Structure 1
Amino acid sequence: MTRVAVIARILPVLAILVWSLQGVSRAENALTLDLSDYELTFEEDFDRLDVSAWGPGTRWIAHTPWNGDFGDAAFADPRPGFPFTVKDGVLAIEARKDEGGKWASGLLASVDGAGRGFSQRYGYFEMRAKFPKGEGTWPAFWLIGLDRLTHTSEVDVVEHYGHFPGRYTASVHVWDRKTASKSSSVHHRVLVAPGSLYDDYNTFGAKIDADWIIFYFNRQEVWRQSTPEHHKQPMYLLVDLGVGAGWPTENTPDPSVMLVDYVKVWARED
């Protein structure tokens, strides 16, 4: 996942950060999502998990299609019992230290390195999940545009930094792959009841069309941002449990586990 702390390590120039004038919102007293004219196009209920390291032929791969890790935990090839387990229709993604004291964790992407798999232009994208508690945890659900030739288009439906139990961040990024200084990012902090992201499952969603990217928490609108031109393309899904994100990890619980009930996508019927 592309973040300021990561970009600073791998690019000579930091991306320009354009902060939303709204800045912060509370996930309450907002418009409720209406999916009455949408149809389900992707449904992952985690009754079983169809994943391989790199594909092809599986529903998920366990790495970013461009083979890039981020944060302080390497994303592991799937093996029995780690980093993914499925029980009673719930996926557990586990982050833990190996024998050498290095963090490893799990990521799922819905397309492989050749772009094979699920992606969709426009629609509503949603995850229902419960996050691990603790400083240094970094769970996320995000979307990437299929065409990365000149730009990487990214929508962070949710990323949560464990140092801040009362909020999460939603973002819209356009990463210029040739000139980093031409990149742009807009971030929005969504305030929630402290601890509520750990105590129960919540839904995190984004509805994308030609005009707006609208973000939802428990199907209540919390923010909207105009759709960049580079985002008017098919987007694929990523779910991961990162560690660090530039924050200290000495107090991060080992292990930490993210629970995902489902990932679903809808498209307008017309």
Structure 2
Amino acid sequence: MAMLTLTLATATSGLPTPRTSPKVRLCGYQLAWSDEFNEASIGNWRLDGKRWTAHTPWAGDFGDALFTDPGPESAFTIRDGHLQITARRRPDGKWTSGLIAAADETGAGTGLTEGYFETRIRMSPGSGTWPAFWLFSLTPRSDPRPKIELDALEYYGHDSSGYYASWKVHVPGNKQRERGELQRIPIVPGLLSARYNTVGILVTRTRITYLFNRAVVWSAARPAELDTPLFPLVNLALGSGYSIRNTPDPSVLSVDYVRLYSPVPRGTAAPCVPDGD
């Protein structure tokens, strides 16, 4: 996430927004993996047969809330086929919340080199929250190659009129070589907490395309360093430099599903990706 120091170049203006861009049909893709959250399948630091781990594979936590392990007192609950990640303040004044990552530090996990990644989520209103849906390189923690981060949605609760999308190249031990682009996506104020919305990234051989409710909101060239699969993460962090003094207790991120679609071989018939909005 953005806790790492990066110099980000803002993308060009005049791009379509969710208000003006028509929806697109995603054809030629088949469902490769999904979690519909009918049960909690979350491990601790290792997958151990689960779909998710409860910490990032490389560093653990970030932000102003401790990411909890799975269990009865964790941030994770399943309700009516939705995963709820809840940030709450403990009696000692410290906050806890949660993250799920479809990989662990050994390089085990689920990812795609090319394909469409999508989630359907809803946020609770309030300042100080920092939820995100993002992708990261599926490699062992010890792999010396640059790591790629694609942020489909990075949201700051004090500003309900937009969110951020980005791509970043992280170079272990050499921050001077790190680079990326950042784009603010304007939306109807309050939309992310008023209803569920779909957020997706389409990764092809040459481009990365960002979608909101299946409308294209940004596109960028695929970084040359992206030569490994990418796995998804979803989190409800707090802070990122913004005050959490008035953050609602509790605050909840609700996740309906996470789905990965892979391209079918050329000449193979495949239905279009169902509209999840």
Matches within 5 A, 1:1-270: 1=1, 3=2, 6-7=3-4, 14-22=5-13, 25-55=16-46, 56-147=48-139, 148-270=143-265
Relative to structure 2, which stretch is displaced further, 18-27 or 210-219?
A: 18-27
SS in 2 for 1:29: coil
**What is the deviation of 1:127?**
0.5
Q: Is the 8 A contact 1:127 1:260 kept in 2?
A: yes
Q: Distance in 1 between matches of 2:171 and 2:16?
A: 28
**What is the deviation of 1:115?**
1.3
Return the letter of the residue paired with 1:59.
Answer: R
Q: In 2 relative to 1, CA 38–125 (structure 1 residues): closer, same or farther, beyond 3 Å?
A: same
Query: What per-residue deviation string (whole Å, max 9, x for no partner) do you get for residues 187-233 of structure 1?
Result: 11111110110010000000001111000000000000000012232
Return the letter of the residue paired with 1:127.
Answer: T
Q: In 2 relative to 1, CA 47–205 (structure 1 residues): closer, same or farther, beyond 3 Å?
A: same
SS in 2 for 1:26: coil
SS in 1 for 2:27: coil
**What is the deviation of 1:98?**
1.6
SS in 2 for 1:198: helix
Q: Give TM-score scaled by structure 1 length.
A: 0.93
Return the letter of the residue paired with 1:155.
Answer: L
Return the letter of the residue paired with 2:235.
Answer: D
**What is the deviation of 1:149?**
1.8
Return the letter of the residue paired with 1:243.
Answer: L
Q: Distance in 2 between matches of 1:262 and 1:114?
A: 25
**What is the deviation of 1:96?**
0.9
Q: Is the 8 A contact 2:29 2:263 kept in 1?
A: yes
Q: Give TM-score scaled by structure 2 length.
A: 0.90
Return the letter of the residue paired with 2:231.
Answer: Y
Q: Is the 8 A contact 1:172 1:186 kept in 2?
A: yes
SS in 2 for 1:229: coil
Return the letter of the residue paired with 2:78.
Answer: V
Cα RMSD, aligned residues only: 1.4
Q: What 5-or-longer segments of structure 1 have no aligned partner?
A: 8-13
Match of 1:10 in 2: none
Aligned length: 261
Return the letter of the residue paired with 2:251.
Answer: S
Q: In 2 relative to 1, CA 211–150 (structure 1 residues): closer, same or farther, beyond 3 Å?
A: same
Q: Distance in 2 between matches of 1:158 and 1:86?
A: 22
Q: Is the 8 A contact 2:15 2:217 kept in 1?
A: no
Identity %: 39
**What is the deviation of 1:81?**
4.9
Query: What per-residue deviation string (whole Å, max 9, x for no partner) do you get for residues 220-260 of structure 1?
Result: 00000000012232001100000001101101111100000
